[in-house]
Structure 1
Amino acid sequence: MAVTIERFGPFGLRGGREFRTEVQLLCQLRHPNLVSFIGFCDEEDEKLLVYEYISNGSLDKHLYGNRSNDPLSWKQRLTICSGAARGLHYLRSGAKHSIIHRNIRSRNILLDDEWNPKLSDLSLSKMSQAGSPTGSLNIKIPVTVVHMDPECYITGRMTRKTDVYAFWDCFV
């Protein structure tokens, strides 16, 4: 079985807090449109996550084509969009707690060997606040605002709409 290993910590790209967040979430989630989590290693300075290997890489590499890839057809784009939306819907309503991904972008939508989309990178995800009817979450607005829901920017609250806004932005 081929796997992908993501390294955290002093030599990896991200730190311990993102590692713990991702492990806690991934242990609870199973859906065909989420990257399958296989296991992890947390030993001294070595922090590793092990995922299924996704052969076609990320959506951003295929949207517009390049020297090695033809652009995706509209039918492929629609199929990928529908599958990614199902994964996002699962995070909202199929998981034990509603989850706001907070990092939806074409680089975090991976495509398997049959071109099925799988959401990845849950390191910035947050569970919505308990008892919140809208599934909202108070946040600090980052210094650099890229692809942010205008309502989120104005109110300082993330809602279910926040990921939908970023999701739409992946395909335009």
Structure 2
Amino acid sequence: MTSVTLHLRNEDETVTLGAALAGVMKAPCVLYLSGDLGAGKTTLSRGLIQGLGHKGAVKSPTYALVEPYEFNDMVVYHFDLYRLLDPEELEFMGIRDYFTDNSIGLIEWPDRGFGLIPEADVAILMKYDGMERIITLEAKTEKGYSMLSCINNEKK
């Protein structure tokens, strides 16, 4: 199985999916989060980050470009590249330094950093269908395939 498509009825189910992803991922890992404005990318990220144990708020890093969340054995870097004017800006901020053996990268709007960000383990496409969200998770690596297999088994 290289992809899974889910229909989520509300924000709570999106947060729950994020927590489920947190339960099956280990650093190093990169997730791409794509979809229109308001599709739930930050909501999914919040569920994942809180699923890893973060107790505070999870805000969109739209203006800062990146928001770090430190845990005992890893760091999650939540990127939002929506306002990125030129991918070269990522070079100036030292983008490569964020992706280490103990980091997880959540990258919203990954197409805006094309060529300068690492390949995704899992690419997630989020879109609306009426009041529901349709979420497609696609494995891009063996690690991603393993994660999706675990998620799919939890949903059964």
Flag the structure with larger Rg: 1
- Greater strand fraction, Structure 1 or Structure 2: 2
- Scaled by the length of structure 2, the TM-score of the pair is 0.28
